[in-house]
Amino acid sequence: MADPLKTSLLAIGIALTGSADAAGTVDPTRPPDGAMATAAEPRETNAGRLVLQSVLVAPDRQIAVVSGVPLAIGDEVQGHRLLRVTDSGAVLQGPAGRISLKLYPDAERRPVKFAAAGPMKMASSRRKPKS
């Protein structure tokens, strides 16, 4: 026979989970409504300013999401053609020339300095006998 306490706790947990969804809780990882547009309906972000939102760099393809529109090399958004995608940015050609978009435009790259480390000591492999 099942333990009544465990059964009660399980029932309460299931009830609370169902009521949390009904209360309108939102998945914090879900993009806001209207965040992604289809290629046919580009969304203007920041009054027409192009914004790089994501990149995918793989050996067989390179994709950049610019102002909510996923672009492959050669695709266009707001009159700008995607020329190149890197791990941290994208280059587009537009009527006024080339522009470079960065994923994190305010981020500053600095070299990492590693501290000198001494020799590592091995942990003892002796086990205490079981009593």
The pLDDT tens digits of the residues spanning 6-58 come to 888 887 877 776 655 555 677 777 766 655 555 444 444 444 689 999 999 99
pLDDT of residue 18: 60
Q: Where are the alpha helices (DSSP H) in 1-131?
A: 4-22
Each domain of the chain, given as residue ranges in start order, spans 52-102
Which segment, 13-22, 41-50, 91-100, 111-120, is predicted with the most confidence on average?
91-100
What is the three-class DSSP state of 26? Answer: coil
pLDDT of residue 82: 96
% of the chain with per-residue pLDDT over 70: 71
**How many angstroms separate the CA atoms of 101 and 92, rounded?**
8
